[in-house]
Structure 1
Amino acid sequence: MKVQVNSSELLEALGHIQSIVEKRNAKPILSNVKISTKKNKMSFYTTDLEIFAKEVIEASVAGDLTTTTPIHTFYDVLRKIGSDQKVQLIFEPSEKPVKMLIKSGLSEFILPCLSAEEFPDFEEGRHDCEFKISCSDLSYLISATKHAISYDDTKYYLNGIFLHVVEDDGVKVLRAVATDVHRLAMAEVTLPSNAALLPEIILPRKTAVELLKLIEGYQGDITLGGSPNKITAIIGNTTLVSKLIDGKFPDYNKAIPYDNFKVLEASIDQLSNAIDLVTAISSEKVKAIKLKIHQSRITLHANDKISASGTIDIPASYENEEITTAFNSRYILDILDNLTGEKVVFKLNSSDRAVLVESGSDSNCKFVLMPLKI
């Protein structure tokens, strides 16, 4: 059986779903992509048993077939063939074992196939709530919070993004929160139509990352379906279904120091550049940075165990008594990378209390940082 398809379309389709598959799998079938042909369409399926993905493209198909082949080898071959090339896939079901021949120009490649009988079923299932959300809103929620996701498996309920509906100042919003205890990130968007019944869910880290990849470059709305144990996202020709983290997210509001009253304002670019420069002297895994906050400037200081040190002053706006505190420099940079506008606002209380960080121009995004011991 022969399938004629453009390499660009095939490459894009596999590119959307190949990163879900782990490089090493105890079960060979999980290293494969399931290929199904029917009525001039090709469908591709991948899974790691936690996330399932499906991509559908149009193709010139001579018949119906279902089989599987190694996804990463298939993808790498197509990537090296290049875009906008005519590709022919030839399957010989009568051969045992079945093989797939890839032909493009003068190139030929043969890949082994495994029967699709053992490939896990792809099931979208029913959802308690289904709604559309703009790709920009979903990207905003995930991008602003994913850096704060915990890697501590003993606190598995923190290994993802908490997505839920809340009322903020009388307005219902869709809010995303992530924390690793040392820091917290929170972002919210206006509640999409028909999303009011979305149950509280914890989106796994890998699922969040895969969604960001699919959103990149996509224009239009995304359909999300949510239930207590599963989420489905339809993005163009791609459908992604993921299990959710089964756990209860803690009451994060207790960790947000809303009553901090000492306000520090600085340039995002100046602060980011200063941190990057002053920590260049440090070879420590955790690069601590000390901030001495004056009324018209911030003095940033970093040192290294080999006695190297660096100090930089940048202008700032601050109208309270001097405070000296310290943070993990990477955590501050992660926040600054996710702020819009020109100014960052730090709301402080004392040198050893949590700090609330916001953009000077976007109140829908908040961050909390715990200081290091000086």
Structure 2
Amino acid sequence: MKATLERTDLLKSLTHVHRVVERRNTIPILSNVLLRAEGGSLKLKATDLDLEVQETVPAMVERPGATTVPAHMIYDIVRKLPDGSQVVLETTSDFATLEIRAGRSKFSLQMLPETDFPDLTASDFSHAFSLTAGDIRKLIDTTQFAISTEETRYYLNGIFMHTVDTPEGSRFRAVATDGHRLAQAEVAAPSGAMGMPGIIVPRKTVGEIQKLLEAPDADVQIELSDTKIRIVTANIVLTSKLIDGTFPDYGRVIPQGNDKELRVDRDEFKEAVDRVSTISSERGRAVKLSLTDGRMILTVNNPDSGSATEELMVEYDADPMEIGFNSRYLLDIANQLTSDTALFRLADSGSPTLIRDSTVDECLFVLMPMRV
């Protein structure tokens, strides 16, 4: 194999694929990236057996071929090569090492045969449809923070994606919850998505998809089976196993009868929560909201360091009430709101609260209260 390509192209591609590779591997081939030179391009592929990323970059191929080399090592080498340099990748005649040359620099990396490299992509995909990169990013950005990190409840360790029929038409919906908070976002369901199986996309895959999306208007092809998802952009193919589990009936935890309505300036609220929570401890992040007619008082008490209060003018004309929330969870939700005013629908101090944008109906959040 011998191929020459721009350092910038190679580095960008290695940045995408090397992230999939775990730093510690008991199977040596999983530490490597597969390089295949053919036609006018170089294909790079990496996998951890659950997730696979493949990218194609233009290259001048003098001798077609394929090999595998340590992913993190080649990434570090190319990252440190001079900007604008041409990189030559060439396997030695004894097929023992890959030479990397750029200017006066030369490196030799130990290889493993490409025949040992596993292939994750063999699968039949029953559903295929397209969404814009902007829509996918919106679904992920809005819900990602609520993914559970508790490994025992593995079915919550991802984003649940499915289609639903609503009075406004068919919607493609993403939901994540960790049992303390729930985030839901949706967009118009694309042609081909109806009837798709409900899928749970793992946390690591969600993060990689997020990093691969660039131009918001670009179309992204999504292919699904019962066990896998494939995301195809212009030159990148990401294939991932799905979480094999049943996502809970999240509709039961979305409150329908909360009759106390609170409207507050999103930025003022976010900044006030951030300020008063400075005094809170790592373990007890509770902030108390005391609501009376037209006014909210935020209070944090920390027996070890002191207390903090701040008052905000709000739209609220229901009965006075006090309710406590985890301040970090409040900030996570406030950061996802897009309109200037946040809308809270409350029931009482012990029941879940519904939070949403006052003008946008495409996302909602549910937050469980804390004792304060």
Instruction: Please state which band the TM-score falls in when normalised by the shorter chain.
Output: over 0.9
Asked if residue 6 in structure 1 is aligned to residue 6 in structure 2, the reply is: yes
Partner letter of residue 255 of structure 2? P
Distance 1:218 1:105, change over 3 A: farther
Given the alignment, which residue of 108, 111, 116 partners 1:110? 108
Judge conservation of contact 1:127–1:226 (CA < 8 Å) in 2.
yes
Distance 1:25 1:42, change over 3 A: same
Deviates more, 1:191-200 or 1:242-251: 191-200
In structure 1, the partner of 2:64 is: 64
Count of residues in correspondence between the two structures: 372
In structure 1, the partner of 2:158 is: 160
Partner letter of residue 88 of structure 2? Q
The two structures, once aligned, show a CA RMSD in angstroms of: 1.4
Distance 1:338 1:93, change over 3 A: farther
Q: For 1:1-374, what aligned pairs fall within 5 Å after superposition?
A: 1-95=1-95, 98-217=96-215, 219-374=217-372
CA distance in 2, matches of 1:218, 1:342: 23
Distance 1:143 1:19, change over 3 A: same
CA distance in 2, matches of 1:291, 1:104: 61
Judge conservation of contact 2:2–2:64 (CA < 8 Å) in 1.
no
CA distance in 2, matches of 1:279, 1:93: 64
Partner letter of residue 87 of structure 1? V
Q: What are structure 1's unaligned runs of at least 5 residues?
A: none
Runs of 4+ in 1 over 3 A off after TM superposition: 216-219
Distance 1:110 1:219, change over 3 A: farther
Distance 1:93 1:142, change over 3 A: farther
Distance 1:303 1:93, change over 3 A: farther
Judge conservation of contact 2:338–2:357 (CA < 8 Å) in 1.
yes
Judge conservation of contact 2:181–2:367 (CA < 8 Å) in 1.
yes
Q: CA deviation at 1:170?
A: 4.7
| SS of residue matched to 1:37 | strand
1:316-349 superposed Cα distances (whole Å, 9 cap, x missing partner): 1101011111111111111111111111100000
Distance 1:178 1:82, change over 3 A: farther
CA distance in 2, matches of 1:43, 1:351: 56
Partner letter of residue 23 of structure 1? R
| SS of residue matched to 2:360 | coil
Partner letter of residue 265 of structure 2? S
Distance 1:306 1:115, change over 3 A: same
1:126-165 superposed Cα distances (whole Å, 9 cap, x missing partner): 2111011011111111111111111122211111111001
Q: CA deviation at 1:84?
A: 2.6
| SS of residue matched to 1:259 | coil
Judge conservation of contact 1:158–1:178 (CA < 8 Å) in 2.
yes
| SS of residue matched to 1:318 | coil
CA distance in 2, matches of 1:11, 1:275: 41
Q: What are structure 2's unaligned runs of at least 5 residues?
A: none
CA distance in 1, matches of 2:223, 2:217: 19
| SS of residue matched to 1:11 | helix
